[in-house]
Amino acid sequence: MLKLITSLSIAALVSLTVLGSAQASEGAIELKSGNFKHGGLFGTYDRAAAQRGLQVYREVCAGCHGLKRVAFRTLMDLGFSEDEVKAIAASYEFTDGPDKDGEMFQRPGKPFDKFPSPFANENAARASNGGALPPDLSLIAKARHDGDDYIYSVLTGFEDAPAGFEVPEGKHYNAYFPGHNIAMPPPLSDDSVEYSDGTKATLDQEAHDVSVFLTWAAEPKMEQRKQTGLKVILFLLVLAGIFYAVKRKVWSDIH
């Protein structure tokens, strides 16, 4: 009897595991790989790509999506000079005040400011986008599994819907978006921007570059984190070696 119960329990466990795996596989969408240089233990951000990604964001994405957690001054980490950062910040206007007369006023942005939202509030954002709320992109790369590949896949995943698939009015078919129906129309195409460094602006290149930039925006200290992790691992390996040598010395006379 005990053997029978054990066998049934094992069989049930195996069945549940297989069923769970099958359900996960059925609902999962395999993303495209962007082959990003910042992947892996030793990966670092491609700063040229991130700078181009900023251009794509400003010229294409910023009309609908905010970047409210990113300060202009942090762009110096991507290789922009202080004067370039000041010029980028000054291209935006911010409401400030009150002044000595108690009035609010408009001023050019400064390096300590953060990227402004394109809409005054959530209701304005929904009204301008058919009821859909464009997400802020500050942390989008951290909010999605394999965020960089997810962004890259979605931006390059717009295509005609397969036969029999229903796309509601106001939606667009995307092979990599969960459910495949997305409110955002295809934002990128070949030559959506004219890169200042002369790089050919193909759809794939634009999607790759803005994915790098948004990954950096979500985790600007990734490189420092990796370096710290490597140092900790090396320290622990050396410490383990010392402890082992001490142990061998202390117990060397005991047989």
pLDDT for 142: 94
Instruction: Identify which of 204, 203, 211, 210 has the alpha carbon closest to the alpha carbon of residue 149.
Output: 211
Residue 74 clears pLDDT 90, i.e. is over it:
yes
Residue 53 CA to residue 210 CA, distance in Å, equals 4
Alpha-carbon separation of residue 97 from 70, 90, 104, 108 (angstroms)? 22, 17, 5, 13
Give pLDDT tens digits for 178-204: 999 999 999 999 999 999 999 999 999
Instruction: Identify which of 51, 56, 52 has the alpha carbon closest to the alpha carbon of residue 187.
Output: 56
Q: What is the assigned CATH class of domain 33-67+132-246?
A: mainly alpha
Phi/psi at 94 (nearest 5 deg)? -130, 145
Q: pTM higher than 0.85 for the full model?
A: no
Residue 207 CA to residue 34 CA, distance in Å, equals 9
Count of helix runs (H) and strand runs (E) in the chain: 8, 4
Residue 19 clears pLDDT 60, i.e. is over it:
no
pLDDT mean over 36-48: 93
Asked if 209 contacts 56 with a C-beta cutoff of 8 angstroms, the reply is yes
Residue extents of the structural domains in the chain? 33-67+132-246
pLDDT for 30: 92
